[in-house]
Chains A and B, each alone.
Chain A
């Protein structure tokens, strides 16, 4: 606080040493640590994915000698790949890493409501990740990321440690959500009504609601798996009169909403990108805001679409199917509004925008194929085939992960104060996009021809699809590594980032890059988050500056006092 006015100090260099990071209460540092941890987990999960694809390069003809991995190893690898990518990468990616970093800044606040709980959340993430690693080292895990009973209560692998890890990760996620809800409710600056919030915050708010309401259910369901294994309580064990389908209900009651924990914040990032890079006011602000809430609400009542073949009642299936279709409406509303935002905008194809545009295609396919799966008669055929695998990769990797990358590229200058090089960034995005489609489009085809998921071997008729898919995976991997290398190189050779490189009007850009320790040296005034006329391009810094700077701080636009008064 004493050094708040020294302009050379920012949140990165104000304190040094590992302990100043691990023990920090600063939301920006916590967000950045989350980001690196997530990237590290992604590399681990990615290596597993490559091994899975290597195994599927050619059929084994039932002969273990021809296989790259043994059956057991294969089962463990796809389980760990899924568990790591879902619990350690995609779920925390946007909320915990990017959300933590920008949410308080977008509110003009100094931190989240509960900085200690925020730090606890990150520490729980580390503990949960460590437990998953311990489970790998103590017998592995071969249940699939879904932990279905009764297999999960009987297999020899180290399920107890793994479910405990997932439980701890759940609390990490709950605490992030709790913090965000309270921060958004209680720490909005004067003048920022709900409908003056950036859409990313609406998205995070909706996400947080899901996190606090759905995650505890998974937590306890997984604890019951552990209790079942340790003490044989029998709630999910048919031999003792229990019901394994009950576990599926509990699991999907969390895990369907969880897919919206992945996609809602991703949609929030996209709303920011489309507005900023079209240099136009976002189209249909209220529709986008309300559709986030609508998706969050719907997400709680459709879980049964994962269980059409589980033996649940037909009536339940019909209702779940109909409700599932209705989720498509708010999802489509968002896409239409993004496209309308670009219409007649001055669109610039910077790297974040390229990722955002990719997502329109990828989410389009991912979402629409969801409708085939939501249709009862087609799902009977498609369930547990590669069609489902392709569907959820389109939405989780193609949409959520690509949006995360959009966000990382978008906020990178604010995080580290340096610009990465545009062209390599764009090309890496294009390579990933091509690789992604090559990997997963063939899986739709293999799936419609009946190739089941989660097997170590396949009928030779599926070989062409798998060949293309493995080649695509290599290209995708290269694209992602390239993007990472390009980002990392900016530390050495990137040019100094201006406060507002893209010309956005949300508050996080109204402070120097990287941000000062307490975000703002001067409390910013609140304008319309999408009023692009507040800022203008300044060639001398290759960035944007307020059209009418505030006399006390050149980064902050002067908002009409009259305008401010009506809001208060």
Chain B
């Protein structure tokens, strides 16, 4: 296990570690501010159109959302455990935990992909999207979005009588989906970045880069990952559990 390299502008390894850690915390603060824009948008529209949000939220699959929540919680746990392993110099444990973290994150993205494609096929999109069933003018909804699916089931357009829906409500449902896709999309991008970080750590771990005196990168990667999880912990109830 290697020793940490001391950069020329630091006095000691401890100073270097503390500095890196503070830098990461500040970066996480900027991330929170970044997401806060969409949380503000969410709050504003939900406060003014509570009924539309409640209505729209029924189209989200709570089971899939809950499964994703569990996956991320588990991955946060393994990320923390990975840090512990790095501190103790347990290379196998470190790699195993990083691997489980990556697998959970991939599972999350898989479920997310499934949800997205389902929404897309049903036309559960913001009003401005080509395939949306919530367009202001019902005549502009694509014919294939209106009618039943090959599998036989009814389309959302039919089952929820979107054609005759109150136009004001319909607009806000569209806004809900706009916010849903922006928030989960931005979060998804962060998950992808996290997967990249974890793979990079895994690669470095395999080359014996980490050890009891040198685990800064693992520690910072895990911190980032916890934030990504934490944001999802907020997203899940705010989007899926409105009722």
Contact = CB atoms under 8 A, between A and B. Distances in A.
Given A216-B34, A241-B175, A234 B8 contact: no
Interface of B: 7-10, 15, 18-19, 22-23, 26-27, 29-31, 33-38, 40-41, 44-45, 126-129, 136, 168, 171-172, 174-175, 178-179, 181-182, 186
Given A114-B23, A117-B23, 14 more contacts: A186-B22, A212-B29, A214-B33, A215-B30, A216-B33, A219-B34, A233-B126, A235-B178, A240-B178, A242-B175, A243-B45, A249-B40, A250-B37, A518-B8
A192 B171 CA distance: 59
Given A182-B23, A186-B22, A1 B15 contact: no
A197 interface: no
B178 A178 contact: no
A234 B178 contact: yes
A111 interface: yes
A317 interface: no
A249 to B, nearest CB: 8
Contacts of A185: 22
Nearest to B178: A233
A234 B172 CA distance: 10
Contacts of A182: 19, 22-23, 26
B26 A181 contact: yes
7 contacts: A111-B8, A113-B9, A115-B7, A182-B22, A221-B37, A231-B128, A231-B129
A239 B136 contact: yes
A518 B22 CA distance: 24
Given A234-B126, A243-B44, A174 B172 contact: no
A112 B9 CA distance: 8
Nearest to A112: B9
B126 A240 contact: yes
A220 B37 contact: yes
Q: Which of A113, A185, A227, A237 has the most C-beta atoms of chain B within 10 angstroms of its own C-beta?
A: A113
Contacts, number: 117
A217 interface: yes
B49 to A, nearest CB: 8
Contacts of A246: 40-41, 44
B26 A240 contact: no
A134 B234 CA distance: 38
Taking residues whose C-beta sits less than 8 angstroms from the other chain, chain A's interface range is 35 or more
B126 A216 contact: no
Given A233-B126, A234-B126, A187 B175 contact: no
Contacts of A104: 9
A525 to B, nearest CB: 15
B37 A212 contact: no
A231 B9 CA distance: 47
Nearest to A186: B19
A166 to B, nearest CB: 14
A388 interface: no
A232 interface: yes
A114 B186 CA distance: 26
Contacts of A181: 22, 26
Contact of A240 (B36, B127, B181): B127
A220 B127 CA distance: 21
A220 B31 CA distance: 10
B171 A113 contact: no
B163 to A, nearest CB: 18
Interface string A205-236: 00000001111110111001001000111110
Contacts of B34: 216-217, 219-220
Given A215-B30, A216-B30, A246-B44, A110 B9 contact: yes
Q: Which 4 A-B pairs have the closest CB atoms?
A: A232-B128, A241-B171, A216-B34, A110-B9
A117 B23 CA distance: 10
